[in-house]
Chains A and B, each alone.
Chain A
Amino acid sequence: MKLPQILLTLFFSACWVGVAQAVDAPYREYDQMEDYLPHVKGDMRLSGSYRHWKDPANLDWRMAGSPEDNWKLNWKFMDPPFNASVHGGHFALDRGESIFKELNKKGRFAACLGARKGSLKGLRARYPMYRPELKHVAGMEEMIEHCGAKEGRVLQNGSYDNSAISVYVASHSNGMPININVTSSGPLKASYERGRKLFHTRAGRFNLACSSCHTKQIGLNLRGTVVTTPYGDAAHFPVYRTRYQLQSLQLRFAECNLDARTQPLLPSSRAYTDLEVFITALTNGYPVSVPSERD
Chain B
Amino acid sequence: MRISRVMVWLSAVFSMSAVSSEWPTDLAVSPSAVNMTLQPKVVVNSGRLEWAPFKRDLTRWPSLSHADKQPTPKPRKVMLEEPLNGDPIRGRELALAREKGYCIVCHELPGEAWPGTVGARVLNFKQHNYSNELVFQQIFDSRAFNPNSVMPPYGTFGILNEQEIRDLVAYLQSLD
Quick check: which of B9-17, B84-92, B109-117 contacts chain A, the rest being far away?
B109-117
Q: Can you name the residue of chain B whose Cβ is closest to the Cβ of A205?
A: B61
Which of B47, B56, B60, B63 lies at the interface centre, i.e. has the most chain A CB atoms within 10 A of its CB?
B47
Q: Is A82 in contact with chain B by the CB < 8 A criterion? A: no
Contacting pair B116 A205 (CB below 8 A): no
Q: How far is the CB of B53 from chain A (nearest CB, A)?
A: 12
Chain A proximity mask over B52-72: 1 for CB below 8 Å, otherwise 0: 001010111111111011111
Q: Can you name the residue of chain B whose Cβ is closest to the Cβ of A99?
A: B47
Contacting pair B28 A221 (CB below 8 A): no
A198-249 residues with Cβ-Cβ distance < 8 A to B are 198, 201-208, 212-213, 216-217, 220-224, 244-247
Contacting pair B72 A202 (CB below 8 A): yes
Number of residues from A at the complex interface, CB < 8 A:
59
Q: Is A181 in contact with chain B by the CB < 8 A criterion? A: no
Chain A proximity mask over B97-135: 1 for CB below 8 Å, otherwise 0: 000000011100000001111100000000000000000
Contacting pair A203 B61 (CB below 8 A): yes
Q: Is B144 in contact with chain A by the CB < 8 A criterion? A: no
Contact of A262 among B42, B64, B105 (CB under 8 A): B64
Known: A27-B72, A223-B114, A262-B58. A207 touches B148 (CB 8 A): no
Contacting pair B48 A159 (CB below 8 A): yes
Known: A159-B49, A221-B117, A223-B115. A261 touches B58 (CB 8 A): yes
Contact of B105 among A157, A194, A212, A223 (CB under 8 A): A223
Contacting pair A264 B114 (CB below 8 A): no
Which residues of A sit under 8 angstroms from B38, Cβ to Cβ? 264
Known: A157-B49, A212-B150, A263-B58. A222 touches B105 (CB 8 A): yes
Which residues of A sit under 8 angstroms from B104, Cβ to Cβ? 223
Query: What are 14 residue pairs bridging A and B, where the CB atoms are less than 8 Å apart in the complex?
Result: A24-B69, A31-B148, A205-B61, A206-B152, A207-B72, A217-B118, A221-B114, A222-B116, A222-B118, A246-B44, A257-B63, A263-B29, A264-B39, A271-B64
Additional A-B contact list (4), CB under 8 Å, known A203-B61, A207-B157, A261-B61:
A163-B42, A205-B152, A216-B150, A265-B64
